[in-house]
Structure formats: structure tokens, C-alpha cells
Amino acid sequence: MDQSVLQQTRDLIRRHKRWDLIFAAVGVVCLGVAALTFTALVIDMAIDGAPRLSPDFFTNFPSRRPAQAGILSAWVGTTLVMMVTAGAAIPVGVAAGVYLEEYAPKNLFTAIIEINITNLAGVPSIVYGLLALGLFVYAFGFGQSILSAGLTLALLILPVVIVATREAIRSIPSAIREAAYAVGATKWGTTWDHVLPYSMAGILTGVIIGMARAIGETAPIITIGALTFIAFLPPAPVQAGFPFLSFEWLTAPFTVMPIQMFNWTSRPEAAFHQNAAAAGLVLLFMTLSMNALAIYIRFQLRKRIKW
């Protein structure tokens, strides 16, 4: 009698524990689906695109003949647009983050700014494109230029930079600030000499993730009307003669990597699809290595800093 009750209880426990195993297996399978998709994506593009990845591919302009087409204007355009984006988004984003963490009083306006930033992060990227089309391209008269595109992407990644800055600053213990105040530092002195240097790695992580996102963004740049066929380079920023620096490139028409890839993908010929795959590999390499760098910095940070 006792023996059979014991046996029943053991069976019950075993049955329930079996569900643990089954669910763990299902979980691994789901993670596997994600991993498999990612692998399939990379391998599929590598098979199609790798043969096209020669030095010529990086030094040729786009062409009607797929075998001669390259991504020179696209990667130069991406580099220049990213310079504008970084130049605009990093100072504004970090300053806004510092204000919200270190300075902002607890009042209605601060609350509005905070809610607003959360909402901006959820606005679809194409809406930023429409904003830029109405404002930068037509109202401000920047035209369909590198400047317009760079500023658009800067607005897009602003919430990412702000949130990362705030999180990095928040993780600094207040004892650091109190020590600085105790020896007579002003608020800005404390922020500039202590809070910002210590939170630099965290801010950098956010900036890199934001930039990686900006590099891959296509929709807002298409919306402002970037051309897809550009067979020339913008004027070089560094000139041989006086005054050595030129800002003409800011107003030049341009193309970027994702737009070049989109253009090749939407053509019917398979040969152009190979070019698209090759451009996709380069793009993927750029964004993934930036993401990996951010993950690595965060990992190092977690290991090193013990407050």
C-alpha cells in the first residue's frame, strides 16, 4: 500500500520533470531557429557575393554592366554621411544625456523631455525621412545632399545616444560626485573631469550601436530622394591649395551602401543580384563588426569596473 503510493508519487514527479526537459529542448530549438536563419542569411550571401569581392569592386563606380560595377561612390558616400551623423548626434546626444542625469530638476518639462525621447525612439525611420524631406531638403534648402542625409540619420540615432549616455552616467556611484564637490569642484568641473571620463566606455558603446544602425538605414535616405546611380565622387574635403579644407562635399549629391544594394536587388538580372549580395556582405561586415565591438567593450567594462 505505502509502496504503491510512493511509486505513484515518483511517477508524478518524473512526469512533471519530463516537461522541464521538453521545454528546455523547445527553447534550444527556438534559439536554433534564430541562429540558423542568421547563418543561412550569411552563407546565402557569401555564396552569391563572395566571388564578386575583388579589389576592383571597391574601386569601381556603379555601371550598367554588372561585371564592372563597383561600390566606390557608395562606400565613400556612407563614410561622409556617417561623419556628418557622428558630428551632429554625438555632441547633442551626450549633452542631452548629461543634462537629464546631472542637471535636470524634477519638473513637468523634464518629464515631457523624457517621455518625448522614449516616443522618438519608437517613431518609424521612414517618418524621419519625411521630416527631412519637408524640413532639410525644401524648407532649409539643403537639397538632396550629404548634409541632409547625415542630419536625418543623426536625428534618428539621437534617442539611442541619449539613452546610452544616461545609463552610463547612472551607473557611476554618487560618492565620486560627492568627493569632487567636497574639494570645491563646480558642477561642470565634476561632470567634465569625473562623471564623463568614467562613463566614456558606456557612452562609446551606445554611440557605436547607434552608428551601426545608421549605416544600415535605407528608408529615410531614399525618402529624401538620394539618387541611386552616382558615377562620380563628391569633392574631397582636403584640398591641395589654400584654405586646404573644403566643405563643398556637404552639398554634393551622393549614394550610400544600403541604397546601392537596394538598387541592385530590385533589378531583375541575376548578375546584379550577385553585386547586391557582395554589397550586402560588405554592409553586414561593417554593421556586425561595429556591434561586436560594442558588445566587446561592454563585456570588458563589466569585467573591469568594480565600484
Partner 1 sequence: MPPPSATYIEGLSAVADTVVSDRLSKRKTRHLRERVIEFVLFSAAAFSVFVTLGIVYVLVSESVHFFQQVSIWDFLTDTQWTPLFDDAHYGVMVLLSGTLVSSAVALAVAVPLGTIIAIYLSEFAPFSIREWAKPLLELLSGVPTVVYGYFALLFVTPLLQVLIPGLPGFSLLSAGLVMGIMIIPYVSSVSEDAMRAVPMSMREGSYAMGATRFQTAMRVVTPAALSGITAAYILGISRAVGETMILAIAAGMQPNLTWNPTEPAATITSFIVQVALGDLPHGSIGYQTIFAAGLTLLLLTLAFNVLGHMLTRRFRQVY
Q: Please report how close the Cβ of residue 117 comes to partner 1 at its closest, in angstroms.
A: 5
Residues 6+ apart with CB under 8 A from 120: 158, 159
Convert residues 61-100 into a mask of x (bound to partner 1 by CB under 8 A) and - (unbound): ------------------------------xxx-xx-xxx
Q: How far is it, in rounded angstroms, from Cα 254 to Cα 266?
A: 19
Residue placing its CB nearer to partner 1 in the complex, 76 or 157? 157
Window 185 to 244, contacts with partner 1 (CB under 8 A): 186-188, 209, 212-213, 215-219, 222-225, 228
- Side-chain-side CA neighbours of residue 9 (13 Å): 6
| Count of H-run helices and E-run strands, the chain | 12, 0
Q: Which stretch, 43-51, 169-177, 199-207, 238-246, contacts partner 1 (CB under 8 A)?
A: 43-51
Q: Which stretch, 60-68, 71-79, 181-189, 193-201, contacts partner 1 (CB under 8 A)?
A: 181-189
Instruction: Report DSSP letters for 5-73, one per residue.
Output: HHHHHHHHHHHHHHHHHHHHHHHHHHHHHHHHHHHHHHHHHHHHHGGG-SHHHHHSPP-SSGGG---HH
Q: What are the CA-CA distances from residue 147 to residues 72, 230, 250, 299 (Å)?
A: 19, 17, 5, 35
102, 169 Cβ separation under 8 angstroms: yes
Residue placing its CB nearer to partner 1 in the complex, 91 or 235? 91
Q: Please report how close the Cβ of residue 239 comes to partner 1 at its closest, in angstroms.
A: 32
Q: Which cell goes with 45? A: 550571401
Closest of 68, 111, 10 to residue 231, by C-alpha:
68
Q: How far is it, in rounded angstroms, from Cα 270 to Cα 252?
A: 31
Q: Which of 162, 168, 195, 203 binds partner 1 (CB under 8 A)?
A: 162
Window 241 to 280, contacts with partner 1 (CB under 8 A): 258, 261-262, 265-266, 273, 276-277, 280
Return the CA Rg of the chain.
26
Q: Which of 159, 202, 206, 210 binds partner 1 (CB under 8 A)?
A: 159
What's at 140, amino acid-wise?
A: F
Q: Which of 6, 10, 11, 28 binds partner 1 (CB under 8 A)?
A: 28
Window 112 to 141, contacts with partner 1 (CB under 8 A): 112-113, 116-120, 122-131, 133-135, 138
How many residues interact with partner 1 (rule CB under 8 A)? 90
Q: Which cell goes with 281? A: 556582405
Q: Which stretch, 61-69, 71-79, 242-250, 291-299, contacts partner 1 (CB under 8 A)?
A: 291-299
Q: Please report how close the Cβ of residue 7 comes to partner 1 at its closest, in angstroms.
A: 17
Q: Which of 6, 8, 27, 56 binds partner 1 (CB under 8 A)?
A: 27
Residue placing its CB nearer to partner 1 in the complex, 167 or 237? 167
Cis bond upstream, residue 268 (ω within 30): no
Cα four-point dihedral sign 63, 224, 217, 245: positive
Q: Does 171 bind partner 1 (CB under 8 A)?
A: no
Q: Please report how close the Cβ of residue 208 comes to partner 1 at its closest, in angstroms.
A: 11
Q: Please report how close the Cβ of residue 69 comes to partner 1 at its closest, in angstroms.
A: 16
